[in-house]
Amino acid sequence: MRKNKRLLTYQERSDRNLMWFTAAVAFVVCVVIYVLPSGLEEWNGDPSEQHSQSLLQQMASYF
């Protein structure tokens, strides 16, 4: 019984790590997709605070 409990907690832990990893990858992909088309022209010029503010607001909307 103890082995089963340990296996279960280890399984849950690995599932949680996998969930956080996939969430982080998906978040990075979303940010890259958002930044690449709209951000390149602004970043080549002068980086505007308005763009970073809208990026922060979009990040906050994901959570």
pTM above 0.85, yes or no: no
Average pLDDT of the chain is 72
42-61, pLDDT tens digit by residue?
555 555 555 556 666 766 76
The whole-number pLDDT of residue 24 equals: 94
23-31 contacts at long range (C-beta below 8 A, 24 or more positions apart)? 27/62, 30/62, 31/55, 31/59
What are the sequence ranges of the domains in the chain?
2-62
